[in-house]
Structure 1
Amino acid sequence: MNRQRSLSLLAVLGLSATLTGAPDVVAEPTGDRAAQVRWGACPEGVEDLTAGPAQLDCATVPVPLNYREPEGTRIEIMISRLASRNPDKRRGVLLLNPGGPGGTGLDQPKFLAAHGLPAEVLDSYDLIGIDTRGVGHSAPVSCGFTDDQVYFGNIAPYAVNDAAVTERAVIAQGVAEQCAANDHDGRMSHVSTANMARDLDRIRAALGADKASFLGYSYGTALGAAYASMFPQQVDRVVLDSNIGDTHLDHEGMRLYGRGMEETFPDFAEWAAARHDTYGLGRTPEEVRRTYFTLAERLDAHPVDGMDGNLFRFGTFFTLYRPALYASAAESWRSLIDTGRPGPAGGRPPGTGAPSPNDNAWSVFLAVTCNDVEWPEDIGSYRRAVAEDRERHPLYGAAAANVMPCAYWKLGPSEPPVSIDSTAPGAVLIVQNQRDPVTPLRGGELLDAKFGQRSRLVTVDGSGHGVYVLGADPCATETVTDYLVDGTVPEHDTTCRTG
């Protein structure tokens, strides 16, 4: 379960470039500009050099910590570059974001190339990876999480009853206070989607590009939607893959995780039922679903080897990110049935009080999520939401609707969330699996509706989190590649059907 803890990140209104109420903040000027970055070697760990020579260059771009004080304190944003393989075909820069918020992006250009990013795209663009503000090598922030804290990841635990919500509220309040207490240099309150979008445009300008294209996954769709809305004249081609539905994640957006698991779990259940002779989880999808509830309730009452019902539910939720994970999950379920123990993966190990390896990522997730928009402060509203979603989405709704530290956040928001600009020029391509546990189809539909005629929605009759490169649908791959390379936009919203 260690691996699942570290992967809990995978979870998930702009009129111009000005801040609402702060007319002194303007967009970067357009027009020809010379590149202002100095490329050099990337920090240790960005690439695995044992696998071959370095392919990435890295550089830093200075940006204001506070865009209301553009001449004040500055921070450095680290970027990486996988240069176009064919300068004669190069058409510009493609800014990348892997999601999170909180995920490092410096290795993303090489990751996408290694996982099959089409050659035409590698020729057409310099791929630009980014550690967004607060992340990794870009003025990192920290709440000071340790590996023995009860706080668990960026999805609240499954609330088995009303009292569990109240108990969680105490922990959530403590985490919010802990984050504020650890914000010694005052950076955390400026970690937001709007400021990250402003940083993107500073990066564009520093690269000497009149316009920049963008490819973002999961939370990256919120950032890309904000960038396309705040800087419509500076964006070129925008692909938003696996969508949260807006420029920010709020409580209603988190609750979609429960819906996403309900829509995606049947794929795993059908797979497991077809392999009942191997795993013994049920001969029909309905029997597999009943096995899930039986195991979860047993672990609620009697945790074993560090695994409780919450960890079991989270592990299953994470399994649905990729069909390739189904077999390992089925093995763990079978071990629980046969031996009463979760198998080699185990549950949550004892803590040592050492800094958590997820501290930075979890801290950025909270900073962005809580700074972007006001969250309900009335704990009663969370109790009602949990009770409703426990019935409506019993697989995971009582986790997704549970109280977050955002209910007690004191560092933000400092401005309204970014509004989607549906009137600006430039097409936005929205790509979405029909069954996705963390960013369900509804998120893509919502974002497509908000962009109106400016966007096209490409849905895939597929399962899992991530479509372009991360999936294997040739129709979606061709559609996105044609758009990025040639600017070809589907005439209408379209559905790609696998098989």
Structure 2
Amino acid sequence: MSASTTRRSKAFTAVASFTAVLAATATATTAAPANASASATDTTPAPTTATATATATTESNPLARLHNQRIHWHTCALGPDDETGRALDVAGADCAGITVPLDYSDPGGRTITVAISRLKATDTVHRVGPLLLNDGGPAGPSLHMPVTKSKVMGEVAGRYDLIGMDPRFVGRSTPLDCGWDLGSALVRSAGADLAGYREEVAIARDLAERCERAHGGVLPYVTTRNTARDMDVVRAALGEDTLSYLGYSYGSYLGEVYTQLFPGRTDRVVLDSVNPPERYSHTLLRGAEAANEAALRAWAGWAAARHGTYGLGDTRGQVLATVEHILDAAAEKPLRIGDAYRLDEHVLPALFIGGLGSDLAERRADLAGTVRLLARAADRKPVEPTAALAGQLEFLLTGAGSAATSQMTAIICGDVADRRGVGSYWREVERSRERFPLAGPLANNITPCEFWDRPAEAPTVLDNDVPALLVAATGDPRTVYAGAQAMREKWPSSRLLTLKGARQHGLYGEYGNACVDGRVNAYLRTGRLPAHDLACAVQP
């Protein structure tokens, strides 16, 4: 459920709408969990100024040494092939590592590093303060975001220190990798029959056990609540009283958790493609089946109008029949894609679902091109993948996707692992398959979280009201629009900005809608929410 900073990565060039590309390993001893009460406010005192923070004692603030740490800023590029670092350097950004506790119940114990970047405010007269950015995921690296978001912000960017942060165990922060031989742990489909589902159960159990053997001492601390606590250490180390925040998809959930743990420490808050706590689950797309099937039908109509280009059928029904033929063929025997890849019924649906995260023409064209190749493979004809498809398959089917899916799985399972019983998933799959033949078996399939240790802390419960700008599309196939409406009710002081008629996940700076971008920039510029909820229309 991530929103990426480019239209390319919004679907991971097909799959990073679920995961983000990350990275190595850490171990530690297990300690007692911090803040066992799910809705409890974090008790770390808020500094009033950088000077006041520096006077805090370890008795009154056990995190004082970390709040007062000196930040050592440096250039961002790690080498000649580091495109992200080079782009940050060209933009004039700095990078640093922030020291945070592995376990917040033991702040004097083992520490890890969280990587941040900063593009400093240039309009010092109107400076607001830091704006921390999160790209979603879970486990989406966000170090790059000051460069990409400054473009859509325009002159408003000059009022903020734009802060990118790779969450703990992600990207350049102390990383984690379970050493899995696939990148699809959470986006697999149950398959056509019970035998196929039993294979999924075995895979999920094996992945959980392998990650526990590799990183059992660390896994209890790979959580959203701890990432939110890291955010507050970053705030304090920057010498700031408050943070402004922009988060996409899962990043909206992270922002919600931060406001609960640290009330009063946010200034301007924008949550794009909103995911409320009650909809945050280890079955990522559960509840979004209808939206994805609707997106599939809409795409099929688009492809039918371009039958001369893609040859998938000249009516919506014919295009959908082509999709069904591909799925049936993969269930019978894995599709052969080039010499290197075999695409079975468990992984194939992720390619379709990954391509349905946006209704932009270029994204629809990408999916149509992929389906054209898959249709040939379903007819058992030789097929050579495009470079983009080869990258997707390498990520999904090999160890190239291990780090990304390890980190994503660890965060979600660490947050909300819920042992429902192996049979319950199959019953849900069978019920949903009738109405949602593509999305149902994927959205309701078993995951490694069924075999994960129970979370060290209960999931966060929101009992606050935060003035925030919530941004959502009515046809979002990832974090459905009803979730944004629910969040608006939960936070009466917030306002909801709706893009009507779009089937898009991630809007601000992603969709190219001038109305949405302008409304968000107006709020970031003035700090004043609109008097009432607003709506924008899709532009031709």
Would you say the 8 A contact 2:88–2:147 is kept in 1?
no
Aligned to 1:460: 499
Q: Residue 349 of structure 2 corresponds to which residue in structure 1? A: 313
Match of 2:223 in 1: 192
* Structure 2 equivalent of residue 331 of structure 1: 369
The Cα of 1:333 is off from its aligned counterpart by: 2.5
Aligned position for 1:38: 72
- State the shift of 1:443 in Å: 2.6
Q: Which moved more, 1:288-297 or 1:191-200?
A: 288-297
Q: What SS does the aligned partner of 2:133 have?
A: strand
Structure 1 residues 284 and 493 mapped into 2: Cα distance closer, same or farther (>3 Å)? Answer: farther
Say if 2:457 is the partner of 1:420. Answer: no
What is the aligned partner in structure 1 of residue 64 from structure 2? none
CA distance in 2, matches of 1:473, 1:481: 12
Distance 1:264 1:42, change over 3 A: same
Per the alignment, residue 26 of structure 1 pairs with: 43
What's the secondary structure of 1:39's corresponding residue?
coil
Residue range with higher mean Cα deviation, 256-265 or 479-488: 256-265
Structure 1 residue 240, shift from structure 2 partner? 0.9
Shift of 1:444: 1.8
- Residue number in structure 1 paired with 2:417: 374
Residue identity opposite 1:65 in structure 2: L
Distance in 2 between residues matched to 1:332 and 1:343, nearest whole Å? 11
Separation in 1 of the partners of 2:284 and 2:184?
19
Asked if 1:390 corresponds to 2:426, the answer is: no
1:267 counterpart (298, 318, 324): 298
The match for 1:154 is 186
Distance in 2 (CA, whole Å) between partners of 1:392 and 1:245 is 25
- Relative to structure 2, which stretch is displaced further, 249-258 or 275-284? 249-258
Distance 2:239 2:352 in 1: 45
TM-score computed with the length of structure 2 as normaliser:
0.82
2:269–2:468 Cα contact (<8 Å) kept: yes
- CA–CA distance in 2 between the matches of 1:266 and 1:83? 45
Does structure 2 conserve the Cα–Cα contact (< 8 Å) formed by 1:251 and 1:401?
A: no
User: Structure 1: which 5+ runs fail to align?
Assistant: none
Q: Name the structure 2 match of 1:280.
A: 311
* Alpha-carbon spacing, 1:8–1:119, altered in 2? closer, same or farther (3 Å): same
Deviation, structure 1 residue 6 = 7.6
**Corresponding residue for residue 474 of structure 1:** 514
Q: CA offsets, 1:380-438, max 9 Å, x none?
A: 1101111112122222110111000000002x401111111334xx4121111122222
Question: Kindly, what percent of the aligned residue pairs are identical?
Answer: 33
CA distance 1:294–1:108, change in 2 (3 Å): same
Structure 1: how far apart are the matches of 2:468 and 2:352?
33
2:205 to 173, 188, 192: 173
Does residue 304 of structure 1 match 2:336?
A: yes
* Amino acid of the structure 1 residue aligned with 2:308: D
What amino acid is aligned across from residue 497 of structure 2 in structure 1?
V
Look up the SS of the partner of 1:383 in the other structure.
Answer: helix
Q: Do the aligned partners of 2:373 and 2:385 also contact (CA within 8 Å) in 1?
A: no
CA distance in 1, matches of 2:351, 2:241: 44
Paired position in structure 1 for 2:25: none
Give 1:224 deviation, angstroms.
Answer: 0.7
Matched residue, 2:117: 80
Corresponding residue number in structure 2 for 1:135: 170
Cα distance, 1:351–1:330 mapped onto 2, change above 3 Å: closer
CA gap of 1:173–1:229, structure 2 versus 1, over 3 A, is: same
CA distance in 2, matches of 1:59, 1:179: 29
State whether residues 246 and 446 of structure 1, in contact with CA within 8 Å, keep that contact through their aligned partners in structure 2: no
The aligned counterpart of 1:489 is 529
| Amino acid in structure 2 at the alignment position of 1:472 | G
**Is the CA contact 1:213–1:236 (under 8 Å) kept in the aligned structure 2?**
yes
Partner of residue 447, structure 2: 404
Structure 1 partner of 2:17? 10
- TM-fit CA distance, 1:253: 5.0
1:120–1:27 Cα change, 3 Å: farther
Aligned residues: 482
- The AA in structure 1 aligned to 2:432 is D
Separation in 2, partners of 1:23, 1:436:
32
Contact 1:258–1:400 under 8 Å retained in 2: yes
Separation in 2 of the partners of 1:477 and 1:21?
Answer: 35
Q: Contact 1:91 / 1:124 at 8 angstroms: preserved in 2? A: yes
Structure 2 residue ranges without an equivalent (≥5): 1-8, 20-33, 52-67
Q: Secondary structure at the match of 1:398?
A: helix
State the secondary structure of the residue aligned to 1:8: coil
Contact 2:178 2:215 in 1 (8 A): yes
SS in 1 for 2:496: strand
- SS of the aligned residue for 1:435 comes to coil
CA distance in 1, matches of 2:261, 2:523: 22
State the shift of 1:247 in Å: 7.1
Are the counterparts in 1 of residues 188 and 347 from structure 2 also a CA contact under 8 Å?
Answer: no
**3-state SS of paired residue (1:496):** strand
Classify the secondary structure of the residue corresponding to 2:146: helix
Aligned to 1:240: 271
What is the CA distance between 1:51 and its match in structure 2? 10
Q: Distance in 2 between matches of 1:124 and 1:243?
A: 25
2:96 aligns to what SS in structure 1?
A: strand
CA-CA distance at 1:343 after TM superposition: 4.5
